[in-house]
Amino acid sequence: MIKKFLTTLILIIGILLLYIPILIIMLLSFNNSQRPYEFNGLTFKWYTQIFSDNSLFSAIINSWSIAICATIIATILGIFIALAINRMKQKYKPFVMFLNNMPILNADIVTGVSLMIIFTLLGFTFGRFTMLLAHIFFCIPFVVLSILPRLKQLDNNAYDAARDLGCTHMQAIRKVIIPGIKIGILTGALIAFTMSIDDFIISYYTTGEGFSNFSTWIYSRLNRRTFNPAAYAYNSIITIGSLLILIYINIGIRPGGKKIEKN
Amino acid sequence: MKKLIELHHINKSFDDQVILDDFNLYINENEFITLVGPSGCGKTTLLRIIGGLESVDEGQVIFDGKDITKLEPNERTINTVFQKYALFPHLNVYENIAFGLRLKKVNEKEIEELVKWSLKLVNLNNYEDRKIDSLSGGQQQRVAIARAIVNKPKVLLLDEPLGALDLKLRQNMQYELKELQKKLHITFIFVTHDQEEALSMSDTVVVMNSGLIQQIGTPEDIYNEPKNRFVANFIGESNIIRGKYLGDKLVEFENVVFECVDTNFEKDEICDVVIRPEDFDVVSLDKAKLIGIVTDKVFKGVHYELCVDINGKEYIVHTYEEAEINSQLGLAIDPFEIHLMKVPQIEKA
């Protein structure tokens, strides 16, 4: 009885700890006062301010454009890298997989600083381009990692069969291989997008010339008195948005369990 | 009969390992030919070379009089049924079968007719809309065959297509494949490691080992007159005994002289004698030419398999009558059941 009570209690505390910050931010997004410690009435003005505060709005646009571009490019490159690794000889595979997994295991700060050094050595101007490069770089391993198991599951002869039935090399990849690993590609792209859109550390070290995405923008404003609560509003929109997507996916999967993969 | 495929001096190695060594073979039109051999003998590689999925190191592949050695698989009028079917799980049965036709830009009406026709040939009427993973192994096998024959290839390559099926299903499919080949009037090149399958289905059997042809012939030839020890052992069970040809259709082994039917040996030439286990006749001891002691018996259903010790050597004998272990057994052999093989030069010395 006590044991059950305790587990429930710990569960409730855990959930609260996870959700209270989110709820607080949502609350603040409706707070009429600009200061977080005082509450004087509800308002929607911060939601309109997302669009009227130019620096915030452009940071948000930057975040999205970087995330979308990085996802697309990393996914395309990741597909080809995964295809190549899959066809590699068995004895080299573990080594290449190690190389692929290293950036994932590596601390963001190390990745960020080392990319900064490399970009400096290459003489790049820091800004949109370097940040995009960095994001592509750290997204690729996730894409590769989510595609490879799918490739392994694919019948070894699927490519041969496509060729045998009249496909050229590229047709076989497009008509048989890609559809066969579709779920892996979508998963990879989704992970890449998530990683990119909420990255701060690597972005911080690889940007410059006043180019900032949402996370670096918040960091640069954090200590100012004039911190714009429109950022809370944006955060709330993102939270509600993801929640809706999650609910939609879960409802979509449920009936008959059709969308769930067999394995 | 017209030669449809000619393989000239094919050499192929993987990482210094020789898979095919100066390989030559002719395949006729409308022939059901089976490549049989233990795993790793190069039979699948040979099939992939014919299909264009594997390149050759040296040699030529001639198809219908034209050199196709360098052609891509999609440029050959040859289709393959793969070992594990290699169906496309993201497409349904209809789209799997229509796959090759769509690439050829056949119009939709014709595709529909052809898909129906091929599904009927493999006895899968009304399966068009089924998903691949809702089919049993046997049904997937049929779809794979339909997907290949719908393109009306001149040659159908089958890479151990029945390997994953259970015994009963496999026997049915053997029969159906044979029927299908007769109906379609095309060449089937069938790869298997199952010697029984090879014997029961083929017009011609090619026995392979370590990249070389051991023997080519009709199933009867291969079984009754194996050319060497490998073939004798691989195709069915054999007792192989060293013997001496005495001339005049007489051969001596186990210190007994037997009549035989072979003549192409020198007098006093050393030879290998092949006797199939079912070719021994169990006779009473006074009529016996060989007498041995039964050391083991196994009931096999149709017959008993006996291990018989003759002068310290073990023989396998198949007989319908039971025999007691440790009892004496008298054996005789009809002259036409004794097959003599040349002994390789190296072993004579």
Residues 78-107 of B with CB under 8 A from A: 78-80, 82-91, 99-100, 103-104
Give B-chain residues touching A176 at CB under 8 angstroms: 88
Average pLDDT of chain B to the nearest whole number:
87
B195 Cβ contact list (under 8 Å, min separation 6): B36, B234, B235, B236
**Using one digit for the tens of pLDDT, what is the confidence trace for B172-225?**
888 888 888 888 889 999 998 888 888 888 999 999 988 888 999 999 988 888
Write the pLDDT tens digit of every residue in B106-131.
888 989 899 999 998 888 888 888 88
The answer to the question of residue A65 being in a domain is: yes
**B133 contacts A262? CB cut-off 8 A:** yes
Tokens 């529909």 sit at which residue?
B112
pLDDT band for position A262 (cuts 50, 70, 90): very low
Question: What pLDDT was estimated at residue A141?
Answer: 92
Chain A residues near residue B137 by CB distance under 8 angstroms: none
Confidence of residue B349 (pLDDT cuts 50, 70, 90): low
The answer to whether A164 contacts chain B (CB < 8 Å) is yes
The hierarchical CATH code for the domain B3-231 is 3.40.50.300
Tell me the per-residue pLDDT of A32-78, one tens digit each, with 9 for 90 and over: 777 777 777 778 778 887 788 788 888 888 889 999 999 999 999 99
Hey, is the C-beta of B60 within 8 angstroms of any chain A C-beta?
A: no
Compute chain A's Rg from CA coordinates: 23
Range of the structural domain that residue A142 is part of: 59-227
CATH topology of domain B238-348: OB fold (Dihydrolipoamide Acetyltransferase, E2P) (2.40.50)
Distance of CA A208 to the CA centre of its chain: 22
Does the pLDDT at position A261 exceed 50?
Answer: no
Q: What are the residues whose beta carbons fall under 8 Å from the beta carbon of A178, sequence distance 6 or more?
A: A79, A185
Q: How confident is the model at residue A263 (pLDDT cuts 50, 70, 90)?
A: very low
Q: Does the pLDDT value for residue A258 go beyond 70? A: no
Best mutation target among A165, A167, A183, A185 (most B Cβ atoms within 10 Å) is A165
CA distances from B16 to B12, B13, B19, B38, B57 (A): 9, 6, 9, 20, 12
Q: Which residues pair with B309 in a beta bridge?
A: B293, B314
Would the pLDDT of B284 be above 50? yes
The sign of the torsion formed by the CA atoms of B121, B124, B126, B128 equals negative
**Å between B188 CA and nearest CA of chain A:** 16
Q: Are B96 and B135 in contact (CB under 8 A)?
A: no
B80 neighbourhood in chain A, CB within 8 Å: 160-161, 164
Chains A and B form CB pairs within 8 A to the count of: 68
pLDDT category at A136 given cuts 50, 70, 90 is very high
Q: Return the residue in B75, B81, B88, B101 with the most chain A beta carbons within 10 A, the one to mutate for interface testing.
A: B88
Percent of chain A at pLDDT exceeding 90: 21
pLDDT band at A257 (very low <50, low <70, confident <90, very high): very low
User: Considering chain A, what percentage of its residues have pLDDT values greater than 70?
Assistant: 94
Side chain identity at residue B141, one-letter code: Q
> For residue B136, how many C-alpha atoms fall within 13 Å in the half-sphere facing its CB?
6
Task: Give pLDDT, residue B347.
Answer: 67
> What's phi and psi for A17, nearest 5 deg?
-60, -35
% residues pLDDT > 90 (chain B)? 12
Label residue A125 by pLDDT band (50, 70, 90): confident
Q: Provide the CATH number for the domain around residue A159.
A: 1.10.3720.10
Say if A30 falls within a structural domain: no
Residue A147 located in a structural domain: yes
* Mean pLDDT of all residues belonging to chain A: 85
Do B86 and A157 lie within an 8 Å CB cutoff?
Answer: yes
Measured distance CA(B335)–CA(B262) in Å, rounded = 9
Q: How confident is the model at residue B348 (pLDDT cuts 50, 70, 90)?
A: low
- Statement: residue A156 has pLDDT above 80: no
Which of B51, B90, B104 lies at the smallest CB-CB distance from A164? B51
Residue A141 domain-assigned (yes or no)? yes
Diameter over CA atoms, chain A: 72
Residue pair A263/A184 in contact by the 8 Å Cβ criterion: no
CB of B73 less than 8 A from some CB of A? yes
CB contact under 8 A, B86 and A167: no
Residue A153 belongs to a domain: yes
What pLDDT score was predicted for residue A126? Answer: 85
Residue B326 region by backbone torsions, left for phi larger than 0, else alpha for psi between -120 and 50, else beta: left
Q: Is the ipTM of this complex over 0.85?
A: no
- To the nearest whole Å, the CA of A50 is away from the closest chain B CA by 43
Instruction: Give tens-digit pLDDT for B22-61.
Output: 888 889 888 899 999 888 888 888 888 998 888 888 888 8
Q: What is the pLDDT of residue A255?
A: 53
Kindly report, residue by residue over B60-94, the tens digit of the pLDDT: 888 888 888 888 888 888 899 988 888 888 888 99
CA distance B290 to B113: 65
Residues 6 or more apart whose CB falls under 8 angstroms from that of B279 comprise: B333, B334, B337
pLDDT of residue A111 exceeding 50: yes
Given a cut of 80, is residue B245 above it in pLDDT? yes
User: What values do phi and psi take at B321, rounded to 5?
Assistant: -95, 145
Mutate to test the interface with A, among B90, B92, B104, B155 (most CBs of A within 10 A): B90
User: Is position A18 within any domain?
Assistant: no
The kind and range of the H/E element at B114 are helix B108-121
Domain ranges, ordered by start, for chain B? 3-231, 238-348
Domain count, chain A: 1
- Secondary structure string (H, E, C) spanning A5-19: HHHHHHHHHHHHHHH
Per-residue confidence (pLDDT) for residue A99, from 0 to 100: 86
Per-residue model confidence as pLDDT tens digits over A3-40: 889 999 999 999 999 989 888 888 888 877 777 777 77
Distance CA A157, CA A146 (A): 21
Identify which of B68, B196, B214, B92 has the alpha carbon closest to the alpha carbon of residue B143. B92
Angstrom CA distances, A206 to A62, A65, A120, A200, B307, stand at 14, 16, 10, 10, 80
